[in-house]
Amino acid sequence: MSNWQGPILSCHELTKFYPVGDGLFALKNVELEIRQGQFVVVMGPSGSGKSTLLNILGGIDRATYGEVILRGRKYSRLSEDDLAILRRKEIGMVFQFFNLLPELTALENIGFPMRLAGYGDKEIRERTAYLLDAVGLQERKNHYPSELSGGEQQRVAIARALANRPAVVLADEPTGNLDSVRSKEIMQLFSKFNKEEGQTFIIATHDRNFMEYADLTIHLVDGEIRERSDRSGAPI
Ligand code: ADP
């Protein structure tokens, strides 16, 4: 569906309720429409619902109420199996603690989603070589995660998230475990893929420095979008 014209990802009245204690709304009526190539940052204090939002948009978790639509496909209409297939093909995820497979090299980690998706050896070789180069890790391709620094591991994780050319890459606190120099390198890498390949990113972070790269920043408080701003911080 490369000629898809509508929003690439949207959610309507998205609500997540946890029946703990007196009950807790982790998300309340979240409305979002994200276009192809947008760089979206989700800011908010700890506990404001950022991870919950990303996990539901990524199809890892289900909403209590409301809808998520990815390229015209409604999550509520998909079985668990179909949602898993959609997730594998259309969503790339990056996490705070990298989540690489320890028994695979950098190169093998990057190619892993392509193997799951059934790509052939030649395509995997070409795509992983391109991605390794794009994230600046040619020299480290045969290293295992335990032999890489945190910043290098996160670069492998970003390359892996991009391997299947997903519609959207979701990153949950991707620099939360890195120092300020490495954080900046990672932000610039996201920005490079966004500018050069038109990749759509949604990044949840505490780090206000990410806002300068964002087309749209949404500010979550207690599970609600309180404000939307552009890269200068002006409300949209
Ligand atoms: P953030 O990513 O902004 O730190 P979260 O999405 O992790 O926020 O959490 C939002 C709220 O939902 C918090 O109050 C958290 O305690 C609560 N929450 C998250 N997951 C669960 C769960 N599995 N059960 C009950 N409450 C949860």
User: Which tens digit of pLDDT belongs to each residue from 143-187?
Assistant: 999 999 999 999 999 999 999 999 999 999 999 988 999 999 999
Q: Quote the ligand 1 centre to 86 CA distance (angstroms).
A: 25
Question: Average pLDDT of 23-49?
Answer: 96
The DSSP output letter for 92 is E
Please name the residue whose Cα sits nearest to atom 1 of ligand 1: 47
What is the pTM for the complete model shown?
0.94
- Phi and psi at 114, nearest 5°, equal -70, -35
Instruction: Specify whether the CB–CB gap between 39 and 214 falls below 8 A.
Output: yes
Confirm whether 57 is domain-assigned: no
Q: Per the domain annotation, does 71 fall within a domain?
A: no
Contact by Cβ (8 Å): 68, 144: no
How far apart are the CA of 176 and the centre of ligand 1, in A? Answer: 17
In the reported structure, the alpha carbon of residue 47 is separated from the centroid of ligand 1 by a whole-number distance in angstroms of: 6
Q: Which atom of ligand 1 is nearest to the CA of 55?
A: 6
Which residue range forms the structural domain that includes residue 88?
35-51+80-229
Whether residue 129 lies inside any domain: the answer is yes
CATH code, domain carrying 91: 3.40.50.300
Residue 2 lies in a domain: no
First vs last Cα of the chain: how many Å apart?
29
Judge whether 145 lies within some domain: yes
What is the predicted pLDDT for the residue at 4? 60
Q: Which has the closest alpha carbon to 71: 195, 162, 166?
A: 166
Q: Which residues line ligand 1 (CB under 6 A)?
A: 18, 20, 24, 26, 44, 46-52
The label of the residue with tokens 């994230």 reads 135
Q: Which atom of ligand 1 is nearest to the CA of 27?
A: 10
Q: Is the residue at 134 inside a domain?
A: yes
| Confidence check: pLDDT of 5 > 80 | no
User: For residue 24, is it within any domain?
Assistant: no
